[in-house]
Chains A and B, each alone.
Chain A
Amino acid sequence: MSFGPFLLLALMEGMVTAAVLSLAAVGLCLVFGVMRVVNVAHGEFYMLGAVIAWFVASVVPGPAWAVFLAALVVAPVLVGALAAAADGLILKRLNYDPEATIVATIGLLYILQQAALTFYGPDARPVAAPFTWRIQLPWFGYSGYKLFVVAAAVAVLLAVWRLMTRTRAGLIMRATQVDREVAGAFGINVDRVYMGTFALGAALAAVAAVLVVPIQQAHYLMGGDPLLLSFIVVIIGGLGSLRGTVIAALIIGLSDGVISMFFTPTLAKILATLLVAMVLVFRPQGLFGQKT
């Protein structure tokens, strides 16, 4: 295969990474933007989404596409409910103090990881893709499902965009983001907004995981990489800016695809983590954020 098609393949793989990553990162970004909470357990919500998808696939009978649709509904709902419970039981009692919530979500990370190891086991298990079409390009064949992942991610992102900008719920969330106290004074139930936001953020991670699980397998340690990459994306995109997050996910996803294919994934990650540290030190508002 010559260089051109090789690059095309790298870019297409990068697009898939970027699509999944942008979903997970937007979830993290919403939680940070509205609640000012850095959720270290975000990667474990992602992992839980994949594990629940596997459980759904093992109990629901029927054709692969029906099972997949069931997982796509069940996993985000369950993960969202769990996140809402964690918010009510832990984060709310800490009064959303930024440093205490980080420590608490680190604890949550270990608890969820151990629970997955105990009840699901150390094996990586696959979930069947809902369909197995292949698209034959002149140089190589490509999985149609991967293109579907990109399309589905775009659809979900557009839905989140509409929710935040065109609906009453989005207006309330943005109002709470700007000023929690004033929002409360105008009769907004801030506790409920926070609980809903935390659940929505976790549910987005679960959706990303259900989409990815036919490509990668479900494994109890799979949350680490998405967490790191989501952090990188959210910080480079400007903490709390949804548009910046999506742009940064595209850049990181595509460059990760290209660098990983031509160099090594470890080098790509070293460069990305150092870039994040430097961005936070020298440009805390992010590469695309505005100074406030």
Chain B
Amino acid sequence: MKVWGLHLAVLAALALLGLVLPQYHATNLARIMVLAVFAMGYNLAFGYAGLLSLGHALFFAAGMYGAGLPAWHWGWGAAPALLAGAMAGGLAAVIVGLLALRTAGVSFMIVTLMFAKAFALTILYFNSWTGGDEGFVVPDTGRALFGATLAADGPRYALAWGLFTVALGLSLLLVRSRFGRVMVALRENEERARMLGINPYAAKLQVMGISGLYSGAAGAAYALLFGYVGGTFADIQYSILPMLYVLLGGAGTVLGAGLGAALMFYLTDVASSVTDAWLFVVGAALVVLVLFAPKGILGWVRARWWRDLP
């Protein structure tokens, strides 16, 4: 009860912020919520099931191009494009998972990294069709949703909030379900989970698929809400960012992904207004987190005060 209260309060606060915040911050917040959905997907794989992937940029970019290419080439509207993007992300994750999940630990990290790199290079290779490095702008027809245009501030915030709400609710249901306990069991001790009759490969493949759906939906929403699709979103950097958000907010906590995304976004925003060395902030944050606070903010809260925080 307390748990649902907390999460509903967060959602209500976000809805209210969308109405009262000045435009610059409302747009930032919309961006943060979309990135938070990406991070939630990453968190399901990394935080709950212990799958440390370095290739989630692939799923994010698959969603982005899955939504952006049909909108650009065939004039699809926002609703089917969004759906296609989420599906593309999930499908890409299942295909990568089928192969990569035969490995574990460091090998898993490198295999996912290599697949993501190959995908990024493929986007560049077919540049006449994907726009390559320069990318392309999503046409206005692709940003029309039920009569509203996602290029306008109100509908943009509303869709970002809606996606965030659905993602948060599903995450919460998932991790408190039986399958949520299976994920944690796989993270903590795979052999013991196997002894209890769980098929680790099948369960991890499901987690990868769900994580890919989240990442794909986030990528598709990012493309449609902000109107640009480009090869840089497939770069390794976009695999590192969700990991950073999750580590900062607290791996294995439902709200941690969003909290980490918000903090990191404003941290780099402030840093880049002072100096242009914002990459330094990202690097230093990674090193400091992994050295001194591997549990993240909400992980620490859970350890100290609220043991049942999901």
Residues of B within 8 A of A277 (CB): 99-100, 111, 114-115, 118
Is B280 located at the chain interface by the 8 A CB criterion?
Answer: yes
A281 adjacent to B99 (CB under 8 Å)? yes
Is B23 located at the chain interface by the 8 A CB criterion?
Answer: no
B106 adjacent to A38 (CB under 8 Å)? yes
Residues of B within 8 A of A104 (CB): 286-287, 290-291
Interface string of B98-117 (1 = CB under 8 A from A): 01101101110111001101
Is B267 located at the chain interface by the 8 A CB criterion?
Answer: no
Task: Say how far B297's CB is from chain A's closest CB, in angstroms.
Answer: 17
Given known A38-B110, A118-B277, contact A270–B284 (CB-CB < 8 A): no
B284 adjacent to A102 (CB under 8 Å)? no
Interface string of B76-116 (1 = CB under 8 A from A): 00000000000000000000000110110111011100110
Is B266 located at the chain interface by the 8 A CB criterion?
Answer: no
Q: How far is A276 from B109 in the complex, measured between Cα atoms in Å?
A: 12
Residues of A within 8 A of B114 (CB): 231, 273-274, 276-277, 280
Please report which residues of chain A, range 99-150, place their CB below 8 angstroms from some CB of chain B when the two chains form the complex: 99-100, 102-104, 106-115, 117-118
Residues of A within 8 A of B121 (CB): 266, 269-270, 273
Is B179 located at the chain interface by the 8 A CB criterion?
Answer: no
Please report which residues of chain B, range 27-57, place their CB below 8 angstroms from some CB of chain A when the two chains form the complex: 52, 54
B286 adjacent to A281 (CB under 8 Å)? no
Task: Say how far B57's CB is from chain A's closest CB, in angstroms.
Answer: 13
Is A90 located at the chain interface by the 8 A CB criterion?
Answer: yes
Residues of B within 8 A of A103 (CB): 243, 247, 286, 290
Q: How far is A276 from B279 in the complex, measured between Cα atoms in Å?
A: 28
Is B285 located at the chain interface by the 8 A CB criterion?
Answer: yes
- If over half of B's interface residues share one DSSP class (helix, strand or loop), that class is named, otherwise mixed; here it is helix
Residues of B within 8 A of A170 (CB): none
Q: How far is A274 from B243 in the complex, measured between Cα atoms in Å?
A: 23
Q: How far is A10 from B211 in the complex, measured between Cα atoms in Å?
A: 44
Q: How far is A108 from B280 in the complex, measured between Cα atoms in Å?
A: 9
Task: Say how far A236's CB is from chain B's closest CB, in angstroms.
Answer: 11
Is A94 located at the chain interface by the 8 A CB criterion?
Answer: yes
A100 adjacent to B106 (CB under 8 Å)? no
Given known A104-B291, A270-B118, A273-B114, contact A110–B107 (CB-CB < 8 A): no
Residues of B within 8 A of A210 (CB): none
Q: How far is A277 from B118 in the complex, measured between Cα atoms in Å?
A: 10
Point out which of A98, A114, A235 has the most chain B C-beta atoms below 10 A from its C-beta.
A114
Is A93 located at the chain interface by the 8 A CB criterion?
Answer: yes
User: How many chain A residues have a CB neighbour from B under 8 Å?
Assistant: 39
Residues of A within 8 A of B100 (CB): 277, 281
Task: Say how far A104's CB is from chain B's closest CB, in angstroms.
Answer: 5
Give the nearest-CB partner of B291 in chain A: A93
Give the nearest-CB partner of B50 in chain A: A99
Please report which residues of chain B, range 270-289, place their CB below 8 angstroms from some CB of chain A when the two chains form the complex: 277, 279-280, 282-287
Given known A273-B117, A277-B114, contact A98–B106 (CB-CB < 8 A): yes
Q: How far is A110 from B109 in the complex, measured between Cα atoms in Å?
A: 18
Q: How far is A273 from B124 in the complex, measured between Cα atoms in Å?
A: 15
Point out which of B99, B243, B279, B294 has the most chain A C-beta atoms below 10 A from its C-beta.
B279
Residues of B within 8 A of A231 (CB): 110, 114
Residues of A within 8 A of B243 (CB): 103
Residues of B within 8 A of A90 (CB): 287, 291
Is B141 located at the chain interface by the 8 A CB criterion?
Answer: no
Is A228 located at the chain interface by the 8 A CB criterion?
Answer: yes
Q: How far is A65 from B49 in the complex, measured between Cα atoms in Å?
A: 56
Given known A93-B291, A277-B115, contact A235–B110 (CB-CB < 8 A): yes
Residues of A within 8 A of B102 (CB): 281-282
Residues of B within 8 A of A281 (CB): 99-100, 102-103, 111
Interface string of A220-260 (1 = CB under 8 A from B): 00000000100100010000000000000000000000000
Of the candidates A109, A266, A274, which one forms a contact with B124 in the assembled complex, judged by CB atoms under 8 Å apart? A266
Q: How far is A75 from B240 in the complex, measured between Cα atoms in Å?
A: 29
B99 adjacent to A107 (CB under 8 Å)? no
Is B125 located at the chain interface by the 8 A CB criterion?
Answer: yes
Task: Say how far B127's CB is from chain A's closest CB, in angstroms.
Answer: 9
B283 adjacent to A108 (CB under 8 Å)? yes
Q: How far is A106 from B113 in the complex, measured between Cα atoms in Å?
A: 12
Residues of A within 8 A of B286 (CB): 103-104, 106-107, 110
A-B contact pairs, 10 of them (CB 8 A): A103-B286, A109-B283, A110-B283, A114-B277, A235-B110, A264-B125, A267-B125, A270-B122, A273-B115, A276-B110
Task: Spell out A's residues near B (CB within 8 Å).
Answer: 38, 90, 93-94, 98-100, 102-104, 106-115, 117-118, 228, 231, 235, 264, 266-267, 269-270, 273-274, 276-278, 280-282, 284
Question: Other than the known A108-B283, A277-B115, what 13 A-B pairs have Cβ atoms closer than 8 Å?
Answer: A99-B106, A102-B106, A104-B286, A109-B283, A110-B279, A111-B280, A113-B283, A114-B283, A228-B117, A235-B110, A270-B121, A280-B107, A284-B107
Nearest first, the 7 A-B pairs at minimum CB distance are A110-B283, A107-B286, A111-B283, A107-B287, A114-B280, A277-B114, A114-B279
